[in-house]
Amino acid sequence: MEHITCDCPVLGTWQSGVIVLHDGRSHAVGKSQAHHNLYPTSTKLLEGEPLRVVAHKVDLRGRTLRWLIERLDKRHI
């Protein structure tokens, strides 16, 4: 178990926990070892900019996930 201290932006909620961004990767934080990567010993949520959700419907037939990732607007990552 690694001890992590960070001011991580919250990306969303997941299985009674949250998804945070740490070192360029998303991590699930919560009490359940089955659903979460990190177990919080203490947390503090600070209000910030509202989360903007952008959704697009795409046809992936014959395409790879790499194609999909390349289409993502880098300003939204």
| Residue-level pLDDT, tens digit, the chain, 77 residues | 567 788 888 888 888 888 888 888 888 888 877 778 777 777 777 788 777 777 778 888 999 988 888 887 776 65
Domain span holding position 48 = 10-76
In the chain, how many domains are there?
Answer: 1
Q: What is the pLDDT of residue 77?
A: 56
Residue 2, domain member (yes or no): no
Measured from the Cβ of residue 11, the count of other Cβ atoms closer than 10 Å reads 13
Say if pTM beats, i.e. exceeds, 0.85: no
Q: Which residue has the tokens 């919080």?
A: 40
Sign of the dihedral defined by the CA atoms of residues 28, 30, 34, 35, in that order: negative
Q: What is the pLDDT of residue 76?
A: 60
Residue 4, domain member (yes or no): no
